Structure 1
């Protein structure tokens, strides 16, 4: 029956949440936040306006951020690209860690 608790673990949002709660995924997200904070601090302190610090978070969240970076040039698009890139990569990291920790056992949520 599609509405019962037995099928609640099959929803894509549940799996996404499980992947993002993985310690490795959370560690990656923490590193991404640290690079963004560092970028903001360096850019604010740079008087010349030629800071290349923005490259670090983009490369840390590649390849998804690179795909989104081709959107119109604005600071908001930079933030969207980095945030979505970090979430996509963290979800993949969490999924891989979950799959590796399962070993040869089948996924109980399937």
Structure 2
């Protein structure tokens, strides 16, 4: 694979490799696991991972068709999208006024 597709995948991999993105992904995974266990008891705990994946998770929740698997898919994809954005922001802040596009 060559061209712009490889460039985008490399950027996503770098963004998800930052500490901030990994901490966010870990926290959201723990919240989702807790919510799935707590929701089996009839509580409204499943809304917590939706709030953690805002705004991308909510947009996907409204766009995707209704169902249990699409509900979980919207949370997971929203979390991944947010983690990429967090990673890109962390990399940009770390670079500061030194724009080094090669790293």
Residue aligning to 1:97 = 90
1:59 — aligned with what? 51
Match of 1:19 in 2: 15
Deviation at 1:74, TM superposition (A): 1.0
Identify unmatched segments of 5+ residues in structure 2. Answer: none
The answer to whether 1:35 aligns with 2:31 is: yes
The 4+ residue runs of structure 1 with deviation greater than 6 A are none
Rg: which structure is higher? Answer: 1
Number of positions where the alignment pairs a residue of Structure 1 with one of Structure 2: 100
Q: TM-score, normalised by structure 1?
A: 0.83
Q: CA deviation at 1:72?
A: 2.2
Structure 1 portions without partners, runs of 5+: none
Normalising by structure 2, we get a TM-score of: 0.88
- Indicate the RMSD between aligned Cα atoms, in angstroms: 1.9
The 1-side partners of 2:65 and 2:80 are apart by 21
